[in-house]
Amino acid sequence: MINVTKAFLPPLDDYVQYLEGLWASGWITNNGVLVQELESKLREYLDVPHIQYMSNGTVALQVALKALDITGEVITTPFSYVATTTSILWEKCKPVFVDIEDKTFCIDADKIEAAITPATQAILAVHVYGYPCNVVKIEALAKKYNLRVIYDAAHAFGVRLNGVSLVNYGDLSTVSFHATKLFHTVEGGAVISHDKEMAKEIHLRMSFGHSGEDYYIAGINGKNSELHAAMGLATLPFVSDLIFRRRIISELYDSMLQGKGLVFPEKVIGLEYNYSYYPVVFKSETQLLQVKEALDKNGVYARRYFYPPLNKLPYHKGKDCPVAEDISSRVLCLPLYYGLTDDQVIQIVRMIVNEL
């Protein structure tokens, strides 16, 4: 069986070494030494001033919205994982969908301005598959209309644009460290901020709203454990190797699938990519379903990621977004992970080509 992804597990001895320290100290949660160490190393790796490690990427989005005091309309993309939209709804805000670009599959910055109303407070954009949004235009719009910007960078760990870490854009960025991600802590996520005051606000929001015996605001429990931090510390040294291998696999896919009538996201100039996903867009939904059925029969489980478009959710329907709806019906993410072999990639491609 070949799944669309497979969690990388570091050498067991590396992980156990961290666990032995926990067993000796008995300190396994509540901002322990490993959480602090992981935050420090992530600040260095991602080249960011402040990062708060949390229980997952969805809580990170909710905390980001709450920390910026967003209560009204939030302009966002219909092409993302459902957590992007449900985080907005969970915070009692209103998602306003803007269609996507047909090149990068990110929110179309040229269409954002038309969606801004007096009730608009924020833009929550997604760096889809790790490809960057038009951060320059989004920043200009935010300044013009006094809006806050949150980037859902769940797919963008380690990505740089013109030498700048992609998570340094916007007022806040959130990341996911779920086991399916390039870098993971089994479960986890984080919020990246740019000044001490906002970092303090985020820390309070994720820590019940109090520090010691001093209570300030109504917070939640967004903390993560020392056991999860240990996995992150054991995994982080391998990230460069993981990206390198993913690049090799992606280039092998490229060499065999180019010229077959498929469409791929376009990489922008100045992008240092992390090869987090390998999406392909078929000529039609019928062709996609035919290919997926053939792969399923042979134990290869690609994923319709993202499907359905979020503006068609049964519990929150938005306006029509024809580009997102079209791409969503035709996109399939192929298996891509560290342990995938060249022979397996060749096998997958042959199955696909046989159905085209």
Q: Is it the case that residue 314 has pLDDT exceeding 90?
A: yes
Strands 300-301 and 2-3: what pairing?
Answer: parallel
Rounded to the nearest integer, the mean pLDDT of the chain is 97
What is the mean predicted confidence (pLDDT) over 269-277? 96
Q: Is it the case that residue 192 has pLDDT exceeding 90?
A: yes
What is the mean predicted confidence (pLDDT) over 84-111? 97
Instruction: Establish whether the linkage from the previous residue to 335 is cis, with ω within 30° of 0.
Output: no
Residue 230: its pLDDT value, please?
98
Q: Which of 235, 220, 222, 230 is nearest to 190 (CA)?
A: 222
Residue 34: its pLDDT value, please?
98
Residue 4: its pLDDT value, please?
96
Q: Is it the case that residue 356 has pLDDT exceeding 90?
A: no
What is the mean predicted confidence (pLDDT) over 310-318? 93
Q: 212 falls in which pLDDT band (50, 70, 90)?
A: confident
Residues 80, 273, 340, CA angle at the centre, nearest 5°?
85
Sign for the CA dihedral angle at 113, 115, 119, 124 comes to: negative
Percentages helix, strand, coil for the chain (3-state, rounded to 5) are 40, 20, 40
Residue 190: its pLDDT value, please?
98
Residue 6: its pLDDT value, please?
96
- Give the pLDDT confidence of 146-188 residue by residue, as tens digits: 999 999 999 999 999 999 999 999 999 999 999 999 999 999 9
Q: How many CB atoms lie within 10 A of CB 138?
A: 22
Token output for 162? 């013109």
Q: Is it the case that residue 211 has pLDDT exceeding 90?
A: no
Return d(Cα 185, Cα 235) in angstroms, integer.
8
Residue 166: its pLDDT value, please?
97
What is the mean predicted confidence (pLDDT) over 92-116? 97
pTM of the model: 0.96
Residue with tokens 């801004």: 116
Return d(Cα 71, Cα 174) in angstroms, integer.
18
Residue 265: its pLDDT value, please?
95
Q: 21 falls in which pLDDT band (50, 70, 90)?
A: very high
For residues 300 and 346, is the Cβ–Cβ distance under 8 A? no
Q: Is it the case that residue 33 has pLDDT exceeding 90?
A: yes
